């Protein structure tokens, strides 16, 4: 039955639903992934997408299984389209338009560039993965990827203590700390305590907030003096006051729109809303308008407060003040959304209240990832020389592996094989590979030094695809694909290198 299937899926996916929620899971189940090349790396990526419940996958692979494949690949029977990606590009490039994301594994440079161009123009995200010896490589190619739920690890609270809103002020006014009994006094939320003492401070300091360490310390002292004392003058144990003192530093953070959000406000997509604009940009524009209007220069209130020592009623009441303000602000943003939608001829219901609320709650955490195209990365005119050169100041930086992978691709183009595949080739290929390295550096006018050791090592690898490195990349790539599909958490931008020799990694923007 439908209900039974749903229940068993809830159980099966429970551990991951706690990370991306039912709505995130839905995006996975509606996605169709294309994997090109079912090598060890490819199948590991696929396994890590099938396990969390990807809706559909298509494998494009023109190779037949060899003894080598059976050695490093856990999965040998698969449903694969027995045509090579190059043939598809020749005959039916629109084949790739149907996919939520295309993952290309162990592809030569020429195929990557061709595919990259097709997918860029079709706005289909493209994730390139390669395991080469003990090196893992990933490249994400996506024009514009918006993230509402980035789930930041250490987010600052949105308490507005530096610019309290009307309803909050009214709420703090309902407290009179001096006339409370001990029980109430000791169970008043620290946010109220800081607000009260801040009010006093402002009246005594010409409306200036405590700015430097000295002033903040003095402010903390005023709070400390507010702790109830016994008849003998000994301060009682008031944990809520201790919390207030501890939180002064962050509580006094100025409410500010993060520069990243300001940048988004200033972007082209935000300023020219059309009927083609995605809900993300429409909502962002609405928030921008809110900021300049009802928000009086601030983002919509987030509406959450951290837990703190307080009795239930006081805490819930305070929480409700923030929640109601957040709802109010979201409603105001909604009106702007409706206006915008009408202005481009779309029905106002096309963006739901629920989505707008979620957007407002995450207004400080929005992220937009834009990766450069492969064409830009590879073109002599737009290659990111600065990034490459500055990392290569350290000749053992992971950047050297990126350059070696490029050189190896060059070798493949020239010799129709990879260096050092057979034992007898290792020695003689070193010089051939060195020629490729030098021609690469010359073509891009890169005056960096690549140690001979790395050239030797890459011949030694003989294009091996050892299972453990494939598995590392398999996990990494699958999660990046899930980020793209679910629009939750933030994908890397745009080149990732993993070095299994030292168990280190780096991300570059090329």
Return the residue of 16, 84, 117, 304 that touches another protein, per CB under 8 A.
16
Helices (H), 416-462: 423-443, 452-461
Exposure string for 295-323, b = 16+ CB within 10 A, e = fewer: beebbbbbbebeebbbeeebbeebbebbb
Residue 377 CA, distance from chain mean position: 22
Our finding on whether 478 is near another protein (CB under 8 A) is yes
Contact 285, 273 (CB under 8 A): yes
Show the binding pattern over residues 106-145: x = contacts another protein (CB under 8 A), - = does not.
Answer: ---------------------------xx-----------
Give the count of residues interacting with another protein (CB under 8 A). Answer: 80
Site for another protein in 43-72 (CB under 8 A): 44, 47-48, 51-53, 66-68, 70-72
Q: State the nearest-atom distance from the C-beta of 19 to another protein, in Å.
A: 5
Interactions with another protein, residue window 68-87 (CB under 8 A)? 68, 70-74
Q: Per the structure block, which two tokens stand in for 303? A: 């509406």
Nearer to another protein, 224 or 460 (CB): 460
Backbone angles phi, psi at 145, to 5 degrees: -125, 115
**By rule CB under 8 A, what string of x and - marks binding of each residue 415-454 to another protein?**
-----x--x--x--------------------------x-
Choose which of 139, 171, 185, 187 interacts with another protein (CB under 8 A): 187
Whose Cβ is closer to another protein: residue 194's or residue 430's?
430
Ranges within 450-469 binding another protein (CB under 8 A): 453, 456-457, 460-462, 464-469
3-state secondary structure 166-195: HHHHHHHHCCCHHHCCHHHHHCCCHHHHHH
105 binds another protein (CB under 8 A): no
Half-sphere exposure of 232 (CA within 13 A, CB side): 2
Site string for another protein, 267-296 (x = CB under 8 A): ------------------------------
Strand blocks (E) in 115-182 = 126-132, 135-141, 145-147
Interface positions, 150-179, toward another protein (CB under 8 A): 150-153
Position 250 contacts another protein (CB under 8 A):
no
**CA trace torsion 258, 261, 263, 268 (10° rounding):** -170
CB of 175 to another protein, least distance (A): 17
Q: List binders of another protein among 311-340 (CB under 8 A).
A: 311-313, 315-316, 319
Distances in Å between the alpha carbon of 378 and those of 125, 318, 407, 447?
18, 56, 12, 17
Minimum distance from residue 327 beta carbon to another protein (Å): 13
């Amino acid at each position: 039955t439908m209900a039974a299937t749903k229940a068993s899926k809830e159980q099966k996916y429970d551990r991951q639903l706690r990370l991306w929620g039912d709505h995130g899971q839905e995006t996975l189940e509606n996605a169709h992934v294309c994997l090109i090349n079912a090598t060890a790396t490819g199948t590991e990526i696929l396994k890590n997408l099938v396990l969390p419940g990807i809706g559909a996958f298509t494998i494009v692979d023109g190779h037949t299984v060899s003894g080598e494949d059976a050695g490093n690949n856990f999965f040998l029977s698969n449903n694969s389209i027995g045509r090579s990606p190059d043939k598809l590009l020749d005959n039916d490039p629109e084949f790739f338009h149907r996919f939520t994301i295309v993952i290309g594994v162990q592809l030569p440079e020429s195929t990557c560039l061709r595919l990259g161009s097709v997918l860029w123009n079709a706005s289909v995200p493209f994730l390139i993965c390669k395991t080469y010896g003990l090196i893992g490589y990933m490249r994400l190619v996506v024009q514009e990827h918006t993230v509402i739920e980035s789930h930041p690890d250490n987010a600052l609270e949105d308490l507005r203590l530096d610019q309290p809103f009307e309803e909050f002020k009214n709420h703090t006014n309902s407290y009179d700390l001096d006339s409370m009994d001990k029980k109430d006094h000791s169970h008043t939320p620290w946010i109220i305590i800081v607000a009260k003492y801040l009010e006093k401070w402002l009246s005594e300091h010409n409306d200036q907030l405590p700015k430097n360490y000295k002033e903040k310390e003095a402010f903390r002292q005023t709070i400390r003096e507010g702790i109830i004392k016994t008849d003998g003058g000994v301060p009682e144990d008031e944990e809520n006051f201790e919390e207030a003192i501890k939180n002064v530093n962050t509580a006094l953070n100025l409410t500010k729109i993060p520069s990243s959000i300001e940048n988004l406000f200033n972007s082209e997509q935000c300023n020219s809303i059309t009927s083609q604009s995605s809900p993300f940009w429409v909502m962002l524009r609405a928030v921008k308008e809110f900021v300049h209007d009802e928000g009086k220069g601030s983002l919509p209130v987030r509406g959450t407060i951290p837990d703190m020592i307080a009795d239930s009623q006081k805490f819930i009441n305070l929480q409700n003040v923030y929640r109601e303000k957040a709802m109010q602000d979201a409603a105001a943003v909604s009106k702007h959304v409706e206006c915008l939608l009408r202005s481009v001829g779309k029905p106002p219901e096309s963006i739901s209240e629920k989505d707008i609320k979620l957007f407002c709650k995450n207004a400080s955490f929005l992220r937009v990832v834009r990766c450069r195209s492969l064409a830009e990365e590879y073109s002599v005119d737009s290659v990111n020389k600065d990034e490459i050169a500055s990392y290569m100041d350290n000749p053992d930086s992971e950047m050297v592996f990126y350059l070696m992978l490029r050189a190896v691709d060059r070798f493949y183009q020239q010799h129709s094989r990879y260096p050092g595949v057979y034992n007898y080739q290792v020695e003689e290929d070193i010089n051939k590979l060195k020629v490729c390295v030098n021609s690469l550096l010359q073509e891009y006018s890169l005056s960096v030094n690549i140690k001979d050791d790395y050239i030797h090592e890459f011949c030694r690898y003989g294009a091996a695809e050892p299972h453990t490195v494939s598995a590392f990349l398999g996990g990494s790539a699958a999660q990046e694909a899930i980020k793209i599909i679910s629009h939750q958490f933030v994908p890397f931008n745009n080149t990732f290198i993993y070095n299994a020799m030292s168990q280190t990694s780096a991300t570059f923007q090329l």
